[in-house]
Amino acid sequence: MSELQESVRVRFAPSPTGNLHIGGARTAIYNWAFARRHGGSFILRIEDTDPERSTPENTAQIMRSLRWLGLEWDEGPEVGGAFGPYLQTERNSTYGEALEQLKQRDAVYPCFCTPEELAVKREQAMSEKAYAGYDRSCRRIPVAQAQARIAAGEPHTWRLKVPLDRGDVAFEDEVYGLTTVPITQLDDLILVRSDGTPTYNFAVCVDDTLMRITHVIRGDDHMSNTPKQILIYEALGTRLPSFAHLSMILGSDGKRLSKRHGATSVEAYQNEGYFPEALVNYLALLGWSLDGETTIISAETLCASFSLDRVSKNPAIFDEAKLAWMNQAYLKAMGAEAFVEALEPFLVDCGFMRGKGPTVNLGGAYTLGALADPAAIKADIAENKAWYEAIHGLIAERAKTMTDVIPMIAYLFGGDTVELDPVSMEKCLFIDGASGIFDSVILALEEVCDWKGAKIENALRQVPEKLGIKAKPVFQAVRVAVCGTMVSPPLFESLELIGKDDVLSRLKVSRDILGWRESFS
């Protein structure tokens, strides 16, 4: 790699034709980490030259996702910078100037072929022989004649005059190494469309030059564009940036990641309750490795150690299970305070209000659009921080994402009642002598003054001892009565959080049910 004689400047240049997807996020992460590693600048540029598919909403969403991931850009939309504007649609005059320059250098020529004509030519050439691009017919039009046609208002594009005597185009890719493309494969590509707007390849070269980009780190799909762009740089007479291409991220079937693979956008993972740190960690290691051993890596370490020569050339299959595992690793490692902060939006969305139960409960699914007042929920969290923080210890070893947490903790919010799961009742509640056991349990718990997990456990352990039965069925019955199901977070801590009065109420409900049941048999 050549010496970095000037400060590193890299860019992430998404086109806002959709939201930020997994592949784009990884490209952004590598650019960002590379900039941080070299004390350079990370620039965001929006490539919105396609008016058909670009929307301001997508631009906003992409920026939201980047910020959520913690990838702050040093220059770009909303933060400014000395080389703006950073939206290509706002840079039209710049491309116009660049085109003028190329005209003066005799590096371009007008092409009057219509899209229809070109399509016919292409199809014909493809079927007959090896098609290698535009046949350059308009290049042979005499200058005076071309000028006259332009003056007459005939629609035309501007094409690059690829030097016929130039040898093959070669470049040293920072991850793929030397790549050479025969010049015969490169045609006179269109730089400026008939409507005066620049094409992707042209805009990229002009912008990367003007924005002083030193390293172009981008998706693999641009590998074949690179030789074309090198030709444009040469026509412009500007220095080439370094290039580094990143292999693609594939779905579980080895095919290009798409909707049918499930969540592909960063936003979707955010909504599913993944942590940005975990996503960044996972994505960073999907195609790059520190040493082959490290699986959990902080953003700081990533920024201190990222290098292009350890980027993998192989396309990688996106493994949801590993991401989920990693997310849990972050969940376990994060402090209770940070956990509550992350949990709050999910509680608000689901309408979980202490004592009032989950507001929206559709057959076990807690969905967005709750009825509870968000302000009230937030206030309750603020006033009872310790209570909410205790949840972390209950679920960290059991949940992978925040959306896992929600159904897991619903029972904590029911106040004096809980929804009882029929299967769990059948298996663990309706056991021999259950109502007697419950009488003892209630009696024992009523006597607990200091309502803490350890005290509750002591009291509860005495029940099976006195009755001369095993502890397990007793605990399981209590679990069902208080938590609603036979599978739940730790029992004693749960009882502590639910509170003595509510626990006793729930136990009495079950005791009554057992009483009625026994009276019928």
Nearer to RNA among residue 63 and residue 348 (C-beta): 63
Q: Is 259 a catalytic residue?
A: yes
DSSP secondary structure letter of residue 371: S
Number of residues that bind RNA (CB under 7 A): 84
Is residue 363 part of the contact set for RNA (CB under 7 A)? no
Residues within window 237-296 making contact with RNA, judged by CB under 7 A: 247-248, 250, 254-256, 285-287, 289, 291-293, 295
Q: Are strands 215-219 and 242-246 parallel, antiparallel or unpaired?
A: parallel
> Of these, 49, 65, 265, 401, which contacts RNA (CB under 7 A)?
49
Instruction: Identify whether the C-beta of residue 257 lies closer than 8 Å to the C-beta of residue 15.
Output: no
> Of these, 144, 164, 321, 386, which contacts RNA (CB under 7 A)?
321
Nearer to RNA among residue 187 and residue 376 (C-beta): 187
> Of these, 79, 118, 448, 467, which contacts RNA (CB under 7 A)?
118
> Of these, 310, 378, 500, 517, which contacts RNA (CB under 7 A)?
310
**Beta carbons within 10 angstroms of residue 196's beta carbon:** 12
Tell which phi-psi region holds residue 108, choosing left (phi > 0), alpha (psi between -120 and 50) or beta. Answer: beta
380 Cβ contact partners less than 8 Å away, ≥ 6 residues apart? 353, 354
Given the residues 121, 129, 228, 259, the one annotated as active site: 259
Site string for RNA, 9-38 (x = CB under 7 A): ------x-----------------------
**CA 126, CA 267: separation in Å to the nearest integer?**
41
Residues within window 205-234 making contact with RNA, judged by CB under 7 A: 220-225
> Of these, 238, 307, 312, 462, which contacts RNA (CB under 7 A)?
312
**CA 101, CA 393: separation in Å to the nearest integer?**
65
DSSP secondary structure letter of residue 294: -
> Of these, 39, 142, 153, 177, which contacts RNA (CB under 7 A)?
177
State the Cα torsion 313-315-316-317 to the nearest 10°: -170
Is residue 303 part of the contact set for RNA (CB under 7 A)? no
- Helix then strand count (H, E) for the chain reads 21, 13
Site string for RNA, 134-173 (x = CB under 7 A): x--------------------x-x----------------
Is residue 319 part of the contact set for RNA (CB under 7 A)? yes
Residues within window 413-452 making contact with RNA, judged by CB under 7 A: none
**CA 194, CA 107: separation in Å to the nearest integer?**
18
Q: What are phi and psi of 259, to 5 degrees?
A: -50, -40
Is residue 490 part of the contact set for RNA (CB under 7 A)? yes
> Omega into 407 within 30° of 0, i.e. cis?
no
Site string for RNA, 377-416 (x = CB under 7 A): --------------------xx------------------
331 token code pair: 């969940």
Is residue 305 part of the contact set for RNA (CB under 7 A)? no
**CA 315, CA 250: separation in Å to the nearest integer?**
7
Q: Catalytic residue numbers?
A: 259
